[in-house]
Chain A
Amino acid sequence: MLSRNAWITLGTTLGVVGVTGGMLYLSRSASAASPLDDAEKNGPDAAPNGEDALASDKLPALPTASDVQGDLSRNWGSTPPDLRPLFLLMEETSKIVGSGRIFALIAYREARFITTAHNGDEPSESAERDGSRRAYENNKDRNPPLPYGEESADFGSGGLFGLLAPYFLWAGVPEVGKRAPFLNARPELMFEPRIAGFAAALYMHRLLKYRRIDDHADIKVGWANPSLLSKGRGGDKYQEIRTRFYEDAETLGLDLKDEATIPGPRLDSSAWPGFDAVFKGIVGVSPKELA
């Protein structure tokens, strides 16, 4: 298990607009709030809260089987049937063949498939908040300002793929600069599974394009901390994450050697269709429509 203080930076080696790229945080679902927890806490008549600066009510529902072309039955293990179309949509839209099952595996580790998983909302999760605070303080001068920057610094990480709040809000800055879609959003927007899916697909693309990824387990290492793919390669932490990745695959019932669904030895993002196309395809609306 990585230290909860560990946070990562995946800068593009091309130095696009001179800022750090997407950064994610290895997190777990230990304190993930289940939907029922919310219902129980708030009672039957409680008003919903956590509205986002972006109009999340404009987001479509989760994708369904009719929204994807690929196989939703083979080699998904115990991935929830109602989330499989999202993972497959991420794969088909990003054109990273085989990534759907890997996204499922990451979501299992990071959130146990709970879209509103939040690490940092409990008193015992101060390390998580320290991580997001550090991420914000160390990078705010190099990135566009965030209206909810302080909130993101205190947020920790969350969502289906364990995104660290400040880096989630800056997602897309290397690609589109100040047009990055979440700059004005609250960090809770990452609880939206389509939004989190887009950010995760973007991060996967960057990992595959700019980092040395030898096999599927390296993706998970990079998800935790891309520096482990270079100077940390082969070290204890690197091995630990890989071992856990394979254990997770076994637990979930995914066959990583099934070439028909997860081509090996490494995934390929060379057919990435571009930032805007991937955003529209996964989120279902354009950044403009969402704003």
Chain B
Amino acid sequence: MRPDLHCYGDGIKELADLVGDFDLRSPMDLHAWYRSEWLAIAATIGFSQELEAALAPLRAVPDRVRATQEAGLAAFASWLLAQRGGVPEAHARTQSVVLGQLITLGRERGELWRVTADPTTLASGACYRAPESVDGASAAADRDIRGAQQVRAFYPDTAAGYFGDGWSGPPPRAESACGWQTPLTLHLGTFPWVYSTRLAGPGPALLWSSTESRPAIAAFEAMTSLLDPAENLRQDARQVAAIARTFVQQTRPLVDAVPIFPPGRAKTGALYRRSGFLVAHRGSLHVAGLDGVRGRLAAPAYNFVLRRFACFFAVRRAALRALASLPEAVRRAAEGSPDPCLRQTAEEVRRGG
């Protein structure tokens, strides 16, 4: 039987189809698909030039996926270096350490896409000591919740949003020095839009950077790692499917109100739907947005997040089909996955082999 995505529920295959199908065993497919998707990531964030420069030397490499990933990471890091730091040094340092813990935790659990943890169990309680003179957008936003000099290193994103109906508990087991009363939840799969309730403007996690520390790079790496078939298979796709369904359900009424792109008759500056995504005809997509009951949704955020879901399942589909040709360690991991859809395919491959 040819493995597919039906096991993950209605609408998932259609979601994956937004970014096209490809064969992991076809070098031409790999080159075209990964290049296209990396360029889409870079265009939204703004590092297209750096990516083109990093991809240019990659002509014939044995592992196209890994080489593209490394080139993309280098390009993003180079771009980030040219940006002003978004948070104070103490903030960024804490974020770096905590993110490292969260990413490890997420990979162990197969829940890297949305990682949740008790903040009081993390390094420095996911708090940082604010400088006397608070500077930077993130710290400023946290002024009102400061406990003594301690400030939360991340936004407590637990209200109902575009990725879910809220995560109120369980509360931290220990008393938080900086006022954490809820779990720390980050949607690393949709970096830089890591918060369910913060999709109104540019990705907030792009500010995770200071002069010395750049936690945004680790989070970016986590997001893009899900394009790697082996990493993709480690993620419990049921979690991604559930979040994707919520996102689509919440955004559909907003997106359905946007006209479909009329070839040859499009109005300058207007927002349209084309091939499932939003486009601004000869205008900036970055100033467009949709207003819903769960807040404003920036048009680039909508496209980017939708594309992340689509890419995840496109890679999952390709990996399921090519499972027999993937390294044995990957196949074994798939057999022990908490994801029953993946286990079933892995079992069939094992029996077939």
Contacts of B45 in A (CB 8 A): 81
**Per-position 1/0 for A10-37, Cβ under 8 A of B:** 0000000000000000000000001110
Residue of B nearest to A57 (CB): B264
A45 in contact with B259 (CB, 8 Å): yes
A115 in contact with B270 (CB, 8 Å): no
Contacts of A62 in B (CB 8 A): 282-284
B260 in contact with A36 (CB, 8 Å): no
Q: Return the contact of A39 from the options B50, B78, B257 (Cβ within 8 A).
A: B257
B268 on interface, CB distance cutoff 8 Å: yes
Q: Return the contact of A34 from the options B47, B272, B288 (Cβ within 8 A).
A: B288
Contacts of B82 in A (CB 8 A): 71, 73-75
**Per-position 1/0 for B275-288, Cβ under 8 A of A:** 00000101111111
Residue of A nearest to B288 (CB): A35
A75 to B267, CA, bound (A): 32
**Per-position 1/0 for A152-191, Cβ under 8 A of B:** 0000000000000000000000000000000000000001
B48 in contact with A65 (CB, 8 Å): yes
A114 to B283, CA, bound (A): 7
A81 in contact with B49 (CB, 8 Å): no
Residue of B nearest to A192 (CB): B268
A119 on interface, CB distance cutoff 8 Å: no
B49 in contact with A39 (CB, 8 Å): no
A72 on interface, CB distance cutoff 8 Å: yes
B49 in contact with A65 (CB, 8 Å): yes
Residue of A nearest to B290 (CB): A36
Contacts of B43 in A (CB 8 A): 64-65, 81-82
B214-271 contacts to A, CB under 8 A, are: 256-260, 262, 264-271
Q: Return the contact of A47 from the options B49, B265, B280, B287 (Cβ within 8 A).
A: B265
A176-222 contacts to B, CB under 8 A, are: 191-194
B259-317 contacts to A, CB under 8 A, are: 259-260, 262, 264-272, 280, 282-291
Q: Return the contact of B282 from the options A64, A84, A112, A115 (Cβ within 8 A).
A: A115
A64 to B47, CA, bound (A): 12
A253 on interface, CB distance cutoff 8 Å: yes
Query: What total of chain B residues lie within 8 Å of the partner, measured CB to CB?
Result: 41
A38 to B258, CA, bound (A): 9
A73 in contact with B83 (CB, 8 Å): yes
**Per-position 1/0 for A32-56, Cβ under 8 A of B:** 0011101110111111111000001
Q: Which of A64, A76, A78, A115 has the most CB of B within 10 A?
A: A115
A176 to B270, CA, bound (A): 33
Residue of B nearest to A60 (CB): B282
Q: Return the contact of B262 from the options A35, A48, A66 (Cβ within 8 A).
A: A48
- Known contacts A80-B284, A113-B287: does B52 contact A66 (CB below 8 Å)? yes
Contacts of B50 in A (CB 8 A): 73
B84 on interface, CB distance cutoff 8 Å: yes
B44 on interface, CB distance cutoff 8 Å: yes
A39 to B284, CA, bound (A): 15
A253 to B137, CA, bound (A): 12
A71 in contact with B266 (CB, 8 Å): no
**Per-position 1/0 for B58-78, Cβ under 8 A of A:** 000000000000000000001
A64 to B287, CA, bound (A): 17
Which size class do A's interface residues fall under?
A: 35 or more
B271 in contact with A35 (CB, 8 Å): yes
B282 in contact with A44 (CB, 8 Å): no
- Known contacts A34-B288, A46-B259, A81-B286: does B268 contact A73 (CB below 8 Å)? no
A59 on interface, CB distance cutoff 8 Å: yes
B46 on interface, CB distance cutoff 8 Å: yes
B204 on interface, CB distance cutoff 8 Å: no
A192 to B270, CA, bound (A): 11
> Shortest CB–CB separation between residue A75 and chain B, in angstroms?
8
Contacts of A72 in B (CB 8 A): 46, 48-49
A193 to B280, CA, bound (A): 12
B280 in contact with A35 (CB, 8 Å): yes
Contacts of A82 in B (CB 8 A): 43, 280, 284-286
> Shortest CB–CB separation between residue A269 and chain B, in angstroms?
26
B179 on interface, CB distance cutoff 8 Å: no
Contacts of B270 in A (CB 8 A): 35, 38-39, 48, 116
B202 on interface, CB distance cutoff 8 Å: yes
A86 to B50, CA, bound (A): 18
The 5 closest A-B pairs by CB, nearest first: A116-B269, A80-B286, A48-B267, A81-B46, A35-B271
The contact sample of 12 A-B pairs, CB cut-off 8 A, is: A36-B288, A38-B270, A44-B259, A48-B267, A64-B48, A71-B82, A73-B79, A78-B202, A80-B286, A82-B285, A116-B269, A194-B282
Q: A45-B259, A191-B268 are in contact. List 4 more A-B contacts (CB 8 A).
A: A35-B270, A43-B257, A71-B49, A114-B284
* Residues of chain B whose beta carbon lies under 8 Å from any beta carbon of chain A: 43-50, 52, 78-79, 82-84, 202, 256-260, 262, 264-272, 280, 282-291
